Amino acid sequence: MATPRRLSTADERRTTVVRTATDAFAARGYYGTTTTEVARHAGISQAYLYRLFPGKEALFVAVVNHCADRILQCLADSAAQVRSGDPEAILFAMGDAYARLIVDRNLPMVLMQAKCAASEPAIGEAIRACYAEAVEYVREVSGASEGQIQMYFLRGFWCDAVTAMAIDQVDAPWARTLARGLAHYPPQEH
């Protein structure tokens, strides 16, 4: 006997659309991605996409928020495993976990795209909120100094740039110089 087909709820559809939109926005940016593309790849009509999100900007903000949630969860999971109260040990663990998270290049690509589109008020607010939450979380959980926190985030920004540009995959002296000292992990097989 066949089981009855279960219809997706709007929240489940939003989650699917955000994941699909993450891929699209990572590849083509806020300005280069159309809602038509996102709807087609999510397997929904553009009209339904607009029922889920009032516009492209709201969809992009949802994608940035999704990335922010993934980052905070990554930081929390890694910090919880550290048995030392040493700020450097906590920062190292969170940095290593972040390096593993950005093996999925879409996350740093979306962050870079959001920074480039930050002149759009809602997007600027979303990317600033992403970093504000992350900085305050790192400050709270690590007990690190302002200088240590700043260097932690500078290193993270640099990791995002190296990963987004795939510099770690270039075999040239300049690329090795820029990627020196950064942890890089191979993509996971699915």
Query: For each successive 10 residues of the chain (190 residues), what is the average pLDDT?
Result: 64 91 95 95 93 97 97 96 95 95 92 96 98 97 97 94 88 93 68
Cβ atoms of 134 and 75 within 8 Å: the answer is: yes
Q: How far apart are CA 183 and CA 168, in angstroms?
A: 10
Cβ atoms of 114 and 64 within 8 Å: the answer is: yes
Give the model's pLDDT for residue 9. Answer: 82
What spatial distance separates the first Cα and last Cα of the chain, rounded to whole Å? 32
Cβ atoms of 106 and 22 within 8 Å: the answer is: yes
Give the model's pLDDT for residue 190. Answer: 42
Give the model's pLDDT for residue 183. Answer: 78
**Total residue count of the chain as it appears in this document:** 190
Give the model's pLDDT for residue 119. Answer: 97
Cβ atoms of 105 and 25 within 8 Å: the answer is: no
DSSP SS3 for 85: coil
Q: How far apart are CA 119 and CA 181, in angstroms?
A: 33
Cα distances (angstroms) measured from residue 173 to each of 101, 114, 180: 26, 30, 10
Give the model's pLDDT for residue 12. Answer: 86
Give the model's pLDDT for residue 104. Answer: 87
Tally Cβ neighbours within 10 Å of residue 40. 15
Give the model's pLDDT for residue 182. Answer: 84
**Structure token pair of residue 68:** 């922010």
Cβ atoms of 168 and 179 within 8 Å: the answer is: yes
Nearest to 157 by CA among 177, 134, 175: 134
Give the model's pLDDT for residue 4. Answer: 63
